[in-house]
Amino acid sequence: MMAGRPAMVVKLGGSLYNHVPDIITSFTSAPVPLLIIPGGGKFADEVRNARLSDEESHWAAINAMDRYGRYIASCGLTTTTELRIPPRTMVLLPSRCLQEADPLPHSWDVTSDTISAWIAGKLGLDLLVVKSVDGIRVNNSLVPTLSHPIETDVVDPLFIPYVLENRIGVSIINGSIPDRITRFLKGETVPGTRIGTTF
């Protein structure tokens, strides 16, 4: 874990839907409170398949994040709609704060990845992105640290430029191996990709 922070923002990817019960155990044993940001997963896929306008898709996809968030919370956590550093590990249902602030472009170039980065930046916290892959790869090799934008399908197109511009410390790790989450949150080194201009 990146040192010296009172809490951490954690984006939990929708592709890990079937792993959520095991992952929650890692979250609840973390040494600091976590603000869990749900991905969209299969709920967002429903929105994509509906072929709505960009404007309609944006808000429908954010509502899909709320739906996934309620599922995550059903495995043993509480929810919040408040954008604040959490007193304990909680799941943020983001639609309310995003409707109030409306900070990001309304397109599929922005997903729960960049939304999570915006939340981390607003709170001044580091961001852990938990996906179903080890991190970002170039030529089939895992990139351990990244300090400049590259093209990748691991995160949305706006994500890397956004976190670099806003100096948000980010780590991407594989949540389908829950032990990696536990070890990372305890400060151990695990396979993954860190993004930022300083390390």
Q: How far apart are CA 104 and CA 115, in angstroms?
A: 8
pLDDT at 128 over 70: yes
* 133: alpha, beta or left? (left if phi > 0; alpha if psi -120 to 50): beta
Position 2 in a domain: no
Domain assignment present for 30: yes
Residue 53 lies inside a defined structural domain of this protein:
yes
Residue 118 within a domain:
yes
Residue listed under structure tokens 């093209």: 151
Per the domain annotation, does 1 fall within a domain? Answer: no
97 lies in which domain range? 8-195
For the whole prediction, is pTM greater than 0.85? yes
Q: What is the pLDDT of residues 36-72, one digit of tens each?
A: 999 987 887 788 788 888 888 888 989 999 999 999 9
Q: Is residue 3 part of a domain?
A: no
Q: How confident is the model at residue 43, as a pLDDT?
A: 80
Per-residue pLDDT reduced to its tens digit, 73-122: 999 999 999 999 999 999 999 999 999 999 998 988 889 999 999 999 99
pLDDT of 198: 60
If one counts the domains in the chain, the total is 1
- Calculate what percentage of the chain has a pLDDT beyond 90: 80
Q: What is the CATH number of the domain that holds 94?
A: 3.40.1160.10
Q: Is residue 180 part of a domain?
A: yes
